[in-house]
Amino acid sequence: MIPARRNLIIIIAAAALLVVVGVVLKVHIEGTRALAAADAAWDKGTMDRAQLLYLRAGRWYLPGNGVRDRAAARLLDLARTRAETHDWSGAVAAYDDVRALYYGSSSLARAGGETLETANQEMAAALAAWKKVDSPEMTSESPETLEATYLAQLSVQDVPSPVWSLVMGVALLGWLGTLGVFAWRYDGLRHRWPWPLVALGFFILWALSLVLMGPVNPA
């Protein structure tokens, strides 16, 4: 390989690595900062602001740093606190924020595991209690029946297909990578004609995956 070209590749790789490291640090720092601010707001008794900040913290999602899971756990505690005082609308909103953290940061909401399952169960109970208190004349069903109905609705997960989501990512990288190779080695279409065809194939696969990726219901 020509030294100048090799040096250019090294520079590009180093720049890309710096960008990735910068993004990782940004996400971790902002998520941790928002989490600390939410804890401080809760200690001061400003529950609405604490709930907003926990949701903001959890949205700074980064696999492995745990900020989202800690924010979800504290939102769950906040929802329980509101349910204990029969603030059903506030409790339901907090439970729904727990669900939003996992639905908004994962192609499979099941990544929430036990936390998400608990949020669904307790949110169903809160909705049933809220219905009975707010509109008792609108339903003759028992709280248990209402809770089961709400839980069945909350357990439905309309999420993108993980397989086609993966295909979309691979096809996009293949498309851009092939175009890059073609541009790098270009010396006329007559000698490099397979590369545009391969790039076109990746592009078609990427566009197709956007259509086929969902949503689907794995529940």
pLDDT tens digits, 1-41: 556 667 777 787 788 888 888 888 998 899 999 999 999 99
Quick one: average pLDDT of 141-159? Answer: 78
CATH pick for 19-154 out of 1.10.10, 2.60.120, 1.20.58, 1.25.40: 1.25.40
| pTM of the predicted structure, to 2 decimals | 0.68
Buried b (16+ CB within 10 A) or exposed e, 98-116: bbbbbbebbbebeebeebb
What span, in angstroms and rounded, lies between the C-alpha atoms of 97 and 36? 18
Most confident of 62-66, 96-100, 185-189: 96-100
- 155 contacts 120 by C-beta, under 8 angstroms: yes
pLDDT attached to residue 109: 47
Evaluate if residue 190 carries a pLDDT over 60: no
